[in-house]
């Protein structure tokens, strides 16, 4: 993770430490308390990217069990500069000792409900919380994209970030652009998927993903896989996916996802999709504009 000419990765807004006590109730309902407002933040990469969008540079990041334990997944990083940023591993390979040695004063994680922090094993999470305050943002099914974004914004403001009215205005404009495009041809069929191994593919259930639910709310026709096992995904063959006849396919671009088969890719229009979208107005604007542009490109 070293670079001979690492770019300047100072945050857009310098956040000065404060001697005042700090507290925050996270989405698990945990009241997290610190003697002063935290300034050295180690975060799961998804929320590390959102911290950056809010003008807060994380002191380090970590990944999940799906990730390479040696390098962070750039697809999850959004606009966060990775050069020179400490990466403490992923999932069971999280280097707890190195993380603690870096002396952070807050860990920012995500949860998919149930109180468990994602990307950290229960044993490691317990050990870390004995030494460092941990906050978790709930990104699970049933949460709207607005709820996830606003929950994180509350955390960011408590850490000293200023409200970004320009970013919020850009997001509103992006929502309007997509709404207009979807209304112009509401029959366009969109399928979100993640390529798997062994000739199979995971089809996303739109209601299980806040970003896909947002598309539905803005008028985009998201294809729903058949009922069956799998709360978030339906695993089928590529021929079954093709039979749904999508006009646009949103393809998981995370590093652990597989590749589209050439015969499938040649018959559909695709656009990139990161199922772990950073919870910030900027990231959500980019996502909505990507979908709008892809729909506009369909004759």
The structure's pTM equals: 0.91
**Which CA distances in Å does 50 have to 79, 169, 268?**
9, 17, 31
Q: Are 252 and 232 in contact (CB under 8 A)?
A: no
Q: Do the first three CATH levels of 22-158 and 165-296 match, i.e. the same topology?
A: yes
d(CA 136, CA 146): 16
Q: Domain locations in the chain?
A: 22-158, 165-296
Strands laid side by side in the 106-111 sheet: 87-90, 60-63, 41-44, 106-111, 134-138
Max CA distance (Å), the chain: 61
- How far apart (Å, rounded) are the C-alpha atoms in residues 159 and 105? 12
Cα-to-chain-centroid distance, residue 66: 14
- Three-class secondary structure assignment of the chain: CCCCCCCCCCCCCCCCCCCCCEEEECCCCCEEEECCCCCCEEEEHHHHHHHHHCCCCCCEEEECCCCCCCCCCHHHCCCCCCCCCCEEEEHHHCCHHHHHHCCCCEEEEEECCCCCECCCCHHHHHHHHCCCCEEEEECCCCCCHHHHHHHHHHHHHHCCCCCCHHHHHHHHHHHHHHHHHHHHCCCCEEEEEEECCCCEEEEECHHHCHHHHHHHHCCCEECCCCCCCCCCEEEEEHHHHHHCCCCEEEEECCCCCCCCCHHHHCCCEEEEECCCCCCCHHHHHHHHHHHHHHHHCCC
pLDDT of residue 37: 98
pLDDT at 15: 44
| CATH match for 165-296 among 3.40.30.10, 3.40.50.1980, 3.40.1410.10, 3.30.1360.40 | 3.40.50.1980
Torsion sign, CA atoms 258, 205, 223, 295 = negative
Q: Which residues contact 29 (CB under 8 A, 6 or more apart)?
A: none
Question: Residue 172: phi, psi to the nearest 5?
Answer: -60, -40
Q: What is the pLDDT of residue 12?
A: 46
How far, in Å, CA of 264 to CA of 24, rounded? Answer: 47
Q: Looking at the domain 22-158, which fold is it?
A: Rossmann fold (3.40.50)
Start-to-end CA distance of the chain, whole Å, equals 44
Among 84, 110, 88, 112, residue whose Cα is nearest residue 98? 88
Give residue 196's pLDDT: 95
pLDDT under 50: residue ranges of the chain: 1-18
188: Cα within 13 Å, side-chain hemisphere: 26
């Amino acid at each position: 993770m070293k670079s001979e000419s690492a770019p300047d990765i100072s945050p857009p807004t310098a956040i000065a430490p404060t001697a005042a006590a700090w507290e925050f109730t996270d989405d698990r309902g945990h009241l997290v308390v610190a003697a002063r407002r935290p300034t050295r933040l180690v975060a799961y990469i998804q929320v590390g990217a959102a911290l950056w969008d809010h003008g807060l540079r994380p002191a380090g990041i970590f990944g999940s069990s799906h990730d390479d334990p040696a390098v962070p997944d750039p697809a999850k990083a959004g606009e966060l500069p990775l050069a020179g940023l400490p990466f403490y591993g992923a999932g069971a390979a999280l280097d707890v000792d190195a993380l603690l040695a870096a002396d952070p004063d807050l860990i920012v994680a995500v949860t998919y409900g149930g109180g468990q922090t994602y990307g950290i094993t229960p044993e490691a999470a317990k050990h870390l919380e004995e030494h460092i305050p941990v906050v978790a943002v709930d990104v699970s099914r049933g949460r709207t994209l607005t709820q996830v974004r606003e929950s994180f914004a509350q955390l960011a403001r408590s850490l000293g970030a200023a409200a970004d009215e320009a970013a919020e205005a850009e997001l509103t404009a992006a929502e309007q652009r997509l709404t207009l495009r979807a209304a112009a041809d509401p029959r366009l069929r969109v399928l979100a998927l993640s390529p798997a191994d062994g000739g199979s593919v995971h089809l996303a259930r739109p209601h299980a993903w806040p970003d896909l639910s947002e598309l539905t709310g803005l008028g985009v026709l998201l294809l729903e896989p058949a009922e069956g096992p799998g709360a978030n995904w339906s695993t089928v063959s590529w021929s079954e996916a093709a039979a749904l006849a999508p006009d646009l396919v949103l393809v998981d671009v995370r590093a652990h996802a597989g590749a589209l088969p050439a015969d499938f890719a040649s018959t559909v229009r695709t656009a990139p999709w990161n199922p772990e979208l950073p919870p910030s107005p900027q990231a959500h604007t980019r996502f909505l504009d990507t979908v709008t542009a892809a729909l506009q490109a369909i004759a």
